[in-house]
Amino acid sequence: MTAAETLADIHTRIEKAAKLAGRKPDVTLVAISKTFGAEDIRPLLEAGQRVFGENRVQEAAAKWPTLRDAFPGVELHLVGQLQSNKAAEAVALFDVIHSLDRSSLVAALAKAMAVSGRRVPCFAQVNIGDEPQKGGVAIDDLPKLLAEARAAEIPLAGLMCVPPADKEPAPYFALLAKLAARHGLSGLSMGMSSDFETAVELGATHVRVGSALFGTRETH
Per the CB < 8 A criterion, the answer to whether 98 and 160 are in contact is: yes
Per the CB < 8 A criterion, the answer to whether 210 and 194 are in contact is: no
Region 84-113 average pLDDT: 98
Region 105-133 average pLDDT: 97
pLDDT band at 68 (very low <50, low <70, confident <90, very high): very high
Per-residue model confidence (pLDDT) at position 218: 54
What does DSSP assign to residue 84?
A: G
Per the CB < 8 A criterion, the answer to whether 187 and 203 are in contact is: no
Give whole-number Cα distances, 219 to 36, 166, 178, 216, in Å: 10, 21, 35, 9
**What does the mean pLDDT of the chain come to?**
96
Per the CB < 8 A criterion, the answer to whether 169 and 129 are in contact is: no
**Would you call 157 helix, strand, or coil by DSSP?**
strand
Taking phi over 0 as left and psi of -120 to 50 as alpha, with beta for the rest, 205 belongs to alpha
**Would you call 12 helix, strand, or coil by DSSP?**
helix
pLDDT at 219 over 80: no
Among 150, 36, 28, smallest CA distance to 95 is for 28
- What is the distance between the alpha carbons of residues 152 and 150, in angstroms, rounded to a whole number? 5
Q: Which of 110-114, 133-137, 169-173 has the lowest mean pLDDT?
A: 133-137
pLDDT at 48 over 60: yes
Single-letter amino acid code for the residue at 124: A
Report pLDDT digits (tens) over 70-86: 999 999 999 999 999 99
Per-residue model confidence (pLDDT) at position 216: 76
Report pLDDT digits (tens) over 161-179: 999 999 999 999 999 999 9
Among 104, 121, 105, smallest CA distance to 156 is for 121
Residue percentage of the chain with pLDDT more than 90: 96
Report pLDDT digits (tens) over 1-15: 899 999 999 999 999
pTM of the model: 0.96
Per the CB < 8 A criterion, the answer to whether 145 and 106 are in contact is: yes
Q: Directed axis angle between helix 103-116 and helix 142-151, to 10°?
A: 20
- In the chain the first and final C-alpha atoms are separated, in Å, by 26
What does DSSP assign to residue 54?
A: E
Per-residue model confidence (pLDDT) at position 75: 98
Per-residue model confidence (pLDDT) at position 217: 58
